[in-house]
Structures are given as structure tokens and as C-alpha cells.
A and B are shown apart, each in its own frame.
Chain A
Amino acid sequence: MTEPVLATTTLGRRFGGLVAVDDVSLSLAPRTVHAVIGPNGAGKSTLVNLLSGDLRPSTGTIHLGALDITHWPSHRIAQHGVARSFQHTNVFAAFSAFENCRLAAQSRHKSFGRWVKPAERYGDWNAAADAALKIVGLASRGGIPAAALSHGERRSLEIAMALATQPSVLLLDEPLAGMGPEESAHIVALLKRLAADHAILLVEHDMDAVFALADRLTVMVNGRILASGAPDAIRANADVQRAYLGTEAVSTL
């Protein structure tokens, strides 16, 4: 078996009395799409926030390859090739789509001491930004302020920003939320291609997309892992079916 890229052991996070994530051990293999599904409030977003360093774990550890990143701040985790998108679109609304991606590309380089040459004269960053916009289908929209893009375009921009940082691991929190069918299909095709050289952790409610993409599935309920395995095994799992009874996902599962 290949070494996991990103792995957690008995990861937990409490908010006061609420245990949002409890005893979660999972590992993300290279070049796979690992989908995390579960009803609302299952702790999926909290899990992503723990992995990205936006939240600090209460218990357990997180390893990125051989590195223990459990207590690393988010910017340091990002610098080591873990990019994320947000469930609620989180872009620089007043900046152009291009500048959003350019800033993302710039983040890979030590810009701290670069105080003189104008930012737009760094060809590599421009190229990375253009490539990221192109890959998500926003090549012709680079000059538009992010606030003026459609909802679906902004969701695509989120992914483009993550890609512009040239990551090895992608943490995608409901990338398809609120997208039209055409945009969804485009992003699903894109994620399929990206899986060839990225490890992708995908939190998603769209079960068609999940089963089209996932190499591995983890089902979370009430902060805990209910089941984890190949998609077919999960589909046949009696516990999973019971957990989803009465929720909207049952018909699609």
C-alpha cells in the first residue's frame, strides 16, 4: 500500500460541550479522490478546518507525509502544499478574478522582501494565475471583479485560487454547492483530471458527483466515522443506509 499523503489519528475537536469531530482516523492516499459524506452537522466542515489549520484539534494528530502538522498554523500548512476551498465562497470580492489567482500564485514565493518591482511584472505568477483561470473555465473572465461574477463562477474561482498555489493536496468543501448542472459537470470532469496528480479530499452533498469521482468514501455521522471504504461497499453498507434513512440523501444512495 502507498504511504498516505495526509493522515489523522483519533482526531477530535470540541466546542464547549459539543463534540464536533470525535475519534476520526483517516488517511488520504496520493492520486485519489477521497469523499467525505454525511448529514448536515456531521462534522465534515470541521474536519476540513482541522486539516487546513483553521481550527486547532482538541485531541489526536495530523500528519502530512512524515511531518506532524497537528499544531501548525494554517499558512504554514498551506505553504506545504495543502490548498483548500471554502464551503461559503471566500474570495477577494473587490479584486479581479485574475488578481485573486495572482495573489494565490504569489503566496508560493517569498514576497515578503519584494518591495520594488511591480507585482504584475512577475511573469511566473501571471502565468500560474492564467493557467488556473483557464483550467476552471474562467479564462475570459479574468478582468471582472470577483463580486461581479455569477455564483457558480465564484465557486470555480475558489478552485482556481487553490490550484494557483500549485498544491499537492486539495481540501474541497462542497465545491459544487449552488452550481448549475453544466458548471457541475465541468468541475466534476476537472476534479477527475486533477486526481491524476493530486490527493483530493472532497466534502460534497451531490451524490451523483461523489459516486462519479470517489475512489474511497468515508461516511461521518455526529462527528464520528460510521464507515469507510470503496464506494460500492459503502453503498451496500447497512449502517450507512440506516443512518441516511429519513434524510434526503437516501434516494440517491
Chain B
Amino acid sequence: MKRSLLPWLVVATVLLLLFPMAAEKFYLQLVTKIMILAIFALSLDLLVGYTGLVSLGHAAYFGIAAYTYALASQAADPANVWLTLPLALAASAAAALLVGALVLRTSGVYFIMVTLAFAQMAYYFFHDTRIAGGSDGIYINTRPDAHLPGLDLADDLHFYYFVLALLAIVFALLAVVLRSPFGRALQGIKANEHRMRALGYATLHYKLAAFVLAGTIAGLAGYLAAAKEGFVNPEMMAWHQSGAVLMMLILGGMGTLFGAVLGAFSYVLLQEWFSTLTKHWQLLMGGFIVAAVLLLPHGLIGLHRLRIKSRAPRPEGDGD
């Protein structure tokens, strides 16, 4: 079944590669934003879809990297990607390590609540203190510079391909990690953590490593979002941002990497479409998500699964 998604993946990649040729500036920027959110959704999928950790505070790591980048690039000259990106990722990773070490001792609804609580603390820290512009946030004067020949991130087209490349790298990285022994252990933890402990797995360490990896990748998305928009504000780590990325996952299909990307695309495109229809687009979006959950319990990616099933019914009890 995994293999049957491959053609779709190739088609999607080719479409994204060719897209800028046909697109106006507005759509180029829109798809750039969507790809950044797809990286964000992929990072949350590692936790929710593969490790069984439903975090409602994932935007904190998105925001922390964004703020780190903003604070580190206050000079008039463009910031160096190779300095500010590792710094931003390290900040998100450190925050995830600290928070993860505490919240992973809880589970179920308590886990959801404490991840939310920590994210809200981060939100109010930046909202209510003066160190980073308070509720107004900070403007960043220039896009960062990657110092690569021929690459000018200030150019929207170049930035588009930069983000696309990072999306592909994150996708491939997660695909490799999830097939590795470490990734299999995470999926075992999602399926039955008690059994994993009984087999001898120190599950807390695995969950913490997943939490830090997910936080770091969310940080990459936050860095790119700040670089793209040219400003940061506390809303980047507000709980509705955490909720939105969770809805992307639910919409696209948790526990598949392709589903996370599909979720980011469908969520943002629906949002754009609904907001042209009415000011109250959230009502339509809410209704759509409810319908999707009821009709497609595996998300949009589940459509593909249904099609496979109907085409080739699996014979009962066939051997190897």
C-alpha cells in the first residue's frame, strides 16, 4: 500500500516543481506558505500519527524558532542562514527537550492539557514582556541570506524552491526514520506502550527523542514562516495555531506522511476558498472538518485506501 502512493508522490513533486512557471506572485506566495505549514504538519504527524502523542501546544516550537531568528537578525544586513537557522533549531530543540521531559510523564487528556499549558506560557511570555515587541511582535527587515551562488532568498521564486527543497528533505528524513528500528519502536509505542515496556523498551526515552525531533522540525517551519513574512508575533504560538495544524493532520490523514502534506494543502486552500464566499469562513471550515471526520475517519488520504481496498479485496487468511 505504501508503494502505491509513490506515483502520487512523484506527480505532486513534479507539479510543485513546475508550478511557479504558471503561477502569479500571489499564488506562488500562497503555495510557499502552504509548504511551510506542510513541514509543520509533518512534524506534528511524527508525534500524533506515529507515536500516539496528541500535542495541543506544538505551535510553541514553531514560534520559538521564529522569534529566535527575528531576535538574531535585527541588523540592517540580511542574517546568515547558516548561523541563524541552527540557532533557531537549537532553541526549539532545547525548549522541546525541557517541556518534553516534564509533559511526557503524563498521558492521555493530561498530556493534551499540559502541552497546551506550556505553549500558552510561551505565548504570554512573548505577548506580555517587552523583550520582543510584546503583542505587536517584531519586524525583520530582510530575508536571510544562504550565501549560495545563484540563490537569492529575497526573491520569491528562489525562496519557493528553497522551501520546496526543505519540504522534500523533511519528508525523506521522516520516511527514513520511520522505517528504522527507532521509528518502528515509536509505532509500537503508539499501538501499545505497556507492551513495549514489557518487552524492555525504555519508552520514555523514545518518546522524548520523538518530541525533540518533532519540535525541531516545527522550528524549521517557524523559521521559514518568519523569513517569508518578515515579521513575528505571539499569534504564531497561540493555541489556535496548534489547533490549526492538528486539524490539517485530521483532514489529511494522520499516520501517513503524504496525508500531513495533503492536509496542509487542503486546509489552506479551503480556507482561501471559503473566505472568498463569506466573512464567516470558519463556520464553513468547521462544518467541513466535522463532515470529513464523520465520512473519512482516515482523512483525505483514506480515499486512496478505500480505492485500493475496493480494487483488490484482501483474501482472508492468506499465508506469507
> Which residues from chain A sit less than 8 Å from chain B, CB to CB?
52, 54, 73-76, 78-79, 84, 86, 90-95, 99, 102-104, 106-109, 111-120, 122, 140-144, 148, 161, 165
B320 and A140 within 8 A (CB): yes
Q: Assign chain B's interface to a size class.
A: 20 to 34
Nearest chain B CB to A62 CB, angstrom units: 16
A79 and B197 alpha carbons, distance in the complex (Å): 10
Chain A interface SS verdict (over half): loop
Additional A-B contact list (11), CB under 8 Å, known A75-B203, A141-B319: A52-B198, A73-B202, A74-B198, A75-B202, A78-B200, A103-B188, A103-B199, A108-B200, A111-B185, A116-B176, A148-B317
Nearest chain B CB to A228 CB, angstrom units: 26
A107 and B200 within 8 A (CB): yes
- Chain B residues contacting A165 (CB-CB under 8 Å) are 199-200
- Chain A residues contacting B209 (CB-CB under 8 Å) are 112
B191 and A112 within 8 A (CB): no
A118 and B177 alpha carbons, distance in the complex (Å): 8
A52 and B195 alpha carbons, distance in the complex (Å): 12
Nearest chain A CB to B170 CB, angstrom units: 14
Given A142-B320, A143-B319: A107 touches B191 (CB 8 Å cut-off): no
B181 interface contact, C-beta 8 A:
yes
Given A75-B203, A103-B185: A93 touches B319 (CB 8 Å cut-off): no
A103 and B198 within 8 A (CB): no
Given A112-B205, A118-B179, A119-B181: A107 touches B199 (CB 8 Å cut-off): yes
> Which residues from chain B sit less than 8 Å from chain A, CB to CB?
176-177, 179-185, 188, 191-192, 194-203, 205-206, 209, 316-320
Sample 23 A-B pairs with CB under 8 A, ordered by A number. Answer: A54-B194, A74-B197, A75-B197, A75-B202, A78-B197, A90-B192, A90-B194, A90-B195, A91-B195, A94-B191, A102-B184, A103-B196, A108-B200, A111-B182, A111-B185, A112-B185, A115-B182, A115-B183, A117-B181, A140-B319, A143-B318, A144-B319, A148-B317
A115 and B184 within 8 A (CB): no
Nearest chain A CB to B255 CB, angstrom units: 11
B206 and A92 within 8 A (CB): no
B197 and A73 within 8 A (CB): yes
B180 and A84 within 8 A (CB): no
A75 and B184 within 8 A (CB): no
A112 and B206 within 8 A (CB): yes
